[in-house]
Amino acid sequence: MVPRSSIDNDSLSKREQLRASAWSQRFNMKSRALFMAPMTTWSSNPDLTVSADELRYYNRRAANVDYVITGCTFTLRRQQGFTRQFYAGSDDYVASLITLVEAIHGGGAKAILQVHSPGRMVSAELQTDPTIEVVSASAVRPDRAGYRTPRALTVPEIKTITHSYYDVTVRAIQAGFDGIEIHGANTYLPQQFVSPLTNHRTDEYARDGLLFIRELVDAVLKARGDARRTDFIVGYRFSPEEKEEGGLRLEHTFGLLDALCSWPIDYVHASLERYDRTSYFNDTVIVDALRNCVRQRKPLIGVGKIKTREDISRALSLGFDHLAMGTILLLNPDWRTTTRLNMEISEASLPPDIPPRMRDMLLKMFV
């Protein structure tokens, strides 16, 4: 029995319905599903367990969607991207993860844990702990104020990271999550290995720029296999381009996507500022380029300024298989039933159930 999606599927043609149904069986997911996009809350307890404020925040928003992708968690104590980011790097934190799963399931959605390694993207503003390790593929400092020059990871350190993705998957399964998403987008560590701007290594991790990502995905898939949980969803989030000169371009992303499509994962998730945006460098519509590359080998999730049911219809018609919504759910905890939506982040539009630290960060960053 294929689960029903929050997106109305009745308007699909017979052929589309059959394809959607075959897909949802093959990938263990609802077809045309709606996701809550991953959004960091900066609001864990001081000991980095998930806080009661976060649980309330997730529980209410889960009622709007099929899947909630959590804000990113991290796997190694000294490689933490944000202050008050909830932690999943030790078995002592499984109980905390269980509370998060229960809040999301209680709200009515399935729960996907997003996992992240910041690499060189540790900003003095977002991470105030000076003891955090700033590491990357190579020692290339981000060209932004408040960032330090990273140290190039040694091969044993790389293996420690990939092993931590095995362990975190085991914990996610123990805690009852329905899946995991590897955060390979938004300039974080996996992207730093793929981008020619940040990978100047001379070892096997440069000769094969996708090696690190393959090891991460392999670790997650091995944990899923060892637990005999073929129904456990594995997704990968990527950014198609970087703006910087010498950075990631669509041709690199096509190589990454080809590889991802050949591995037994369940979806690929494009991180986009707008779902219908064009390339930073020409008028290529990104979703067209991605769709042509993926060629229906995997479900493709789109995101970026999807706010209304009209946006949903349009984004699906452009060729995304599933959709994710971020800011609009943050601002409208009851999005599904609200008729007058708050559209932009402001002091007045932030609902009272946003955790206080998240509220402060949102006003600092987006207003």
Q: Give the count of alpha carbons within 13 A of 348, CB side only.
A: 3
Nearest to 225 by CA among 183, 261, 265: 265
β-pair type (300-303, 322-325): parallel
Handedness of CA 341, 347, 352, 358 (dihedral sign): positive
CB-nearer residue toward ligand FMN: 183 or 201: 183
Alpha-carbon Rg for the chain, nearest whole angstrom, is 19
Q: What's the closest the beta carbon of residue 331 comes to ligand FMN, in angstroms?
A: 9
- 200 forms beta bridges with none
CB-nearer residue toward ligand FMN: 135 or 345: 345
Q: What's the closest the beta carbon of residue 273 comes to ligand FMN, in angstroms?
A: 6
Handedness of CA 219, 221, 222, 226 (dihedral sign): positive
Q: What ranges make up the beta strands (E) of the chain?
A: 34-36, 67-69, 73-74, 110-116, 135-136, 151-152, 179-184, 233-238, 267-270, 300-303, 322-325
Residue of minimal Cβ distance to ligand FMN: 326
What is the C-alpha separation between 128 and 126, in angstroms, rounded?
6
Q: What's the closest the beta carbon of residue 321 comes to ligand FMN, in angstroms?
A: 17
Q: What's the closest the beta carbon of residue 40 comes to ligand FMN, in angstroms?
A: 4
- Cβ–Cβ under 8 Å, residues 158 and 117: no
Q: What's the closest the beta carbon of residue 181 comes to ligand FMN, in angstroms?
A: 8
State phi, psi for 128 to the nearest 5 degrees.
-90, -5
What is the C-alpha separation between 260 and 270, in angstroms, rounded?
12
Q: What's the closest the beta carbon of residue 188 comes to ligand FMN, in angstroms?
A: 8
CB-nearer residue toward ligand FMN: 42 or 201: 42
CB-nearer residue toward ligand FMN: 10 or 347: 347
The DSSP 8-state label assigned to residue 327 in this structure reads: H
CB-nearer residue toward ligand FMN: 85 or 164: 85
Residues that bind ligand FMN (CB under 6 A): 37-40, 71-72, 114, 183, 185-186, 237, 271, 303-306, 325-328, 362
Q: Hey, what are 165's tokens?
A: 């993705």
What is the C-alpha separation between 145 and 213, in angstroms, rounded?
28
CB-nearer residue toward ligand FMN: 62 or 201: 62
Nearest to 117 by CA among 132, 128, 129: 132
- 203 forms beta bridges with none
CB-nearer residue toward ligand FMN: 79 or 114: 114
Q: What's the closest the beta carbon of residue 21 comes to ligand FMN, in angstroms?
A: 27
CB-nearer residue toward ligand FMN: 291 or 305: 305
Q: What's the closest the beta carbon of residue 283 comes to ligand FMN, in angstroms?
A: 21
